[in-house]
Amino acid sequence: ITVAQLPNADEALVFLGGNPYLSAAPDTVAGQFPGLAGGGLGPDIRFGGLDSSITLNGNGNTGTAGQGDRAIVYAASEMDLLTAGGGADPDYFGFGAGVLTPGFGGGNAFDIITVDGTGVSTVNNANGALVRVNVDVSFAQAGPPAPAQRAALIVNGGDEAIPQPNGIADQFFATPSAEFNIQVNGNLPALGPIGPDGFPAGDELVLNSPESINVFSDKAAVPNVSTTFGNNIFGVVSSSIERLRMSAANGVVNLIGDNNDPNVDQNDNFVVRGRDVNGSGEGRNELTLQINGSAPILVDGVTDMNVYGFDLAGEPDLNNPDPNRVDPSGAVANNIDTLDISAYADDTPQGWGVDVFFSEGGPAGQDGGQADLIIYNTS
């Protein structure tokens, strides 16, 4: 079920089935059609007179492991989403011939989006609050819970040509659900120039964990980076996010290989740079992380960083993971993983303050994609 938000708090478009945007690549929602235009059976409905929100009930999943009902939200885009036939197609909803969802106009599609397991709230820069989308636990996917389970709630920030002058296009604040994974897609703009604060300009996602932060990623051309909090199985998967900010209340950050999936074996590449990420002027307990080619992730408040080249499925305590944990897949089939690290080494007035642990996994005597298993940069 897809909900497209309109530029007010009392209307929304709702689509059943079709081919909505789920994850990158490409970044843009153009050409990704929910409902009838995307091959769905319909109906496509325009709702008006809503009391500021709409509630979705998936009516339970199919029972087939790894599947279930999914809720998708389309937030504001600057341009109209046109059907394949464009102006030759009918005027479906009164927005013009071939217009599936109307654009908000240039410079009017910057959103602040708050998402958690209960739904999605959006405040638009030009129109204020949009219709809130509520979801319930009926969207939980079938089968045993797993970090790699497909997302049940997908939120698309929509397309903008360029960010705002402050370097941010859409800004997301996300909290994981206890029932299912959440996918956050920034969509356009693509990764471009550095913003005025010295970080990549574009869509921003903020994740603040009350416990540890656990980060892992697939190997897609635009990686889908997953983040879980503490021992929560489910997390937030993100794509086409140019700046991802995160912090862990207990200071523990775990970088996990193989997309934290016991059925996956991949070459993981972790690039860590100690630096100022919060604008304080010094980089104590701060760093950037690039995982498998992702945009730099900005991490603050770090005291302990644990890096594993293999999955931690079944680890009982991710707030204090076992440093002697054995790679569950053994040494034969394992791929090679690399940690490339530069500490924040300015001891004036204080040093980096981050303890680092690295367990590459089973292979021995081989090299990774960067020709070394660990690269420590001293300057």
* Secondary structure in 3-state letters for the chain: CEEEECCCCCCEEEECCECCCCCCCCCCCCCCCEHHHHCCCCCCEEECCCCCEEEECCCCCCCCCCCCCCEEEECCCCCCEECCCHHHCCCCCCCCCCEEECCCCCCCCCEEEEEECCEEEEEECCCEECCEEEECHHHCCCCCCCCCCCCCEEEECCCCCCCCCCCEEEEEEECCCCCCCEEEECCCCCCCCECCCCCECEEEEEEEECCCEEEEECCCCCCCEEEEECCCCCEEEEECCCEEEEEECCCEEEEECHHHCCCCCCCCEEEEEECCCCCCCCCCCEEEEEECCCCCEEEECCCEEEEECCCCCCCCCCCCCCCCCCCCCCCCCCCCCEEEEECCCCCCCCCCCCEEEEECCCCCCCCCCCCCCEEEECC
* Residue 378 and residue 268 share a domain: yes
pTM: 0.93
pLDDT at 332: 46
- Note the pLDDT of residue 62: 67
In a domain, 87, yes or no: yes
Same domain, 149 and 1: yes
Q: Are residues 256 and 191 in the same domain?
A: no
Residues 195 and 265 in one domain: no
Say if 265 falls within a structural domain: yes
Number of domains present in the structure of the chain: 2
pLDDT in tens, 335-349: 789 999 999 987 777
Residue 281 and residue 196 share a domain: no
Domain that holds residue 275: 251-379
User: Looking at the structure, do residues 21 and 143 belong to the same domain, yes or no?
Assistant: yes
pLDDT at 121: 99
pLDDT at 331: 46
Whether 213 is covered by a domain: the verdict is no
The pLDDT value recorded for residue 370 is 60
Residue numbers in the chain where pLDDT is lower than 70: 60-62, 329-334, 363-372, 379
Q: Are 124 and 273 in the same domain?
A: no
172 & 28 share domain: yes
Q: Could you tell me if 160 and 285 lie in one domain?
A: no
228 domain-assigned: no
Domain-terminating residue out of 202, 224, 242: 202
Residue that terminates a domain, selected from 173, 202, 231:
202
